[in-house]
Amino acid sequence: MSDVKDRLLQRFLKYVTFDTESCDDATTVPTTPGQMVFAQYLKEELQAMGLAEIELDDKGYLYATLPSNCGRELPTIGFIAHLDTSPDMSGKGVKPRVVESYRGGNVVLDEKEGIILSATDFPEIEDYAGHDIVVTDGHTLLGADDKAGVAEIISAVEYLQAHPEIEHGKIRIAFNPDEEIGRGAHNFNVPLFGCDWAYTVDGGAEGELEFENFNAGSATFSIQGCNVHPGYAKGKMLNALRIATEIVRSIPATESPECTDGYQGFYHLMSINGGVDSAEVSYIVRDHCRETFESRMAFISKVADGIKAKYGAGVLSLDLKEQYRNMREQVEPKMYIIDLAKIAMEKAGVKPLVRPIRGGTDGAQLSFMGLPCPNLFAGGINFHSRYEFVSVQVMEKAVMTIVNIAAMVKDLK
């Protein structure tokens, strides 16, 4: 194993031991104390590396600078990853294991309990035959989302420090909390970061390059029914749950996540809660096309209006909100930052896979805060689950992609 790959792996194996699972119900920033513990550890690591302008604020946002070693003024670029792991699966007590030179087929995670990373259920693992892959013991997620990104960014900076012959401009790096619950960009200090553009290193498979994400909205239908004794309910009861099911039937089931892919948008039923007296129906609305997204949001309003017309205005209230927008609007005027990333990948032996994100990233919000910020691959597969894994070789290619981007900025016209 090369020195770069070995140091990268050891760094990643250390990082995943930090419990940084974020919490959607918390009101603190960061939402869990483990994220600040991890941020403090990274701050000390960056100090030991001799980086400049290191700042960790009281909300867990960590910033640092690799100064320019070029004699002329160049654009300042940034690389960003997030500290937290998803609350969808426990991130406490992660026990990573390296499967060296994976030979294909199933990987047993916990023999005693029969937990298996199955090549039948997850055929993409066969693409990594011959790679060294990092897996869990099957009882937690791994945390490659996004500790692989953190490790890759720091390893790339370390590589540039060790190779001063590679000329580059000022490079800023940042690590933020609470991305997994959609709050990662909320307290990001874009003026302090001071970059012309940046890249989040938070993508999945090798070569992923994303600058399009969903336009996103949420819809909550709150229903007020009337509950009386069912034996004497005729003409009196108004069953909120029945109205809830009527709302669900009104929204096309064929336009749900399980029926769509690529650029297709959807309505996603998140929850139905309540009883006869009152109930709540929650949806999220997604579409890459702005016009189609607005049509979807208007359709939700139309459904609500129909229920009010049928049962009375006081029966239903609708909370309809826009959450974030497609970053393509902000990136398209600077498409050279995408071209730069493509060439950097190719130089690292990576085939660029430009595809839309069927979700959102911190980069989407940051792009609308004045920081164009597409997303680069970090290498992890099966995010948010006990079957998450990452290839060490792909992580190394991510490091070299970052290095190549940094080195190529000086060649921009």
For residue 7, the one-letter residue type is R
pLDDT tens digits along 144-182: 999 999 999 999 999 999 999 999 999 999 999 999 998
Task: Quote the percentage of the chain above a pLDDT of 90.
Answer: 95
Nearest C-alpha neighbor of 140 from the set 87, 71, 178 = 87
Q: Tell me what pLDDT residue 1 has.
A: 57
Separation of CA 277 from chain center: 38
The residues that bridge with 266 in the sheet, in sequence order, are: 286
Mean pLDDT of 115-126: 97
E strands present in 239-346: 266-274, 278-287, 316-324
- Give all domains of the chain, ordered by start, each with its CATH number: 3-212+327-411 (3.40.630.10), 215-324 (3.30.70.360)
- Mean model confidence pLDDT for the chain: 96
pLDDT tens digits along 16-58: 999 999 999 999 999 999 999 999 999 999 999 999 999 999 9
Active site residues: 84, 179
CA distance 374 to 327: 8
Q: What single-letter DSSP state applies at residue 258?
A: G
Question: What is the residue whose two structure tokens read 């946002």?
Answer: 61
Least confident of 49-63, 325-339, 353-367: 353-367
Instruction: Check: pTM over 0.75? Answer yes or no.
Output: yes
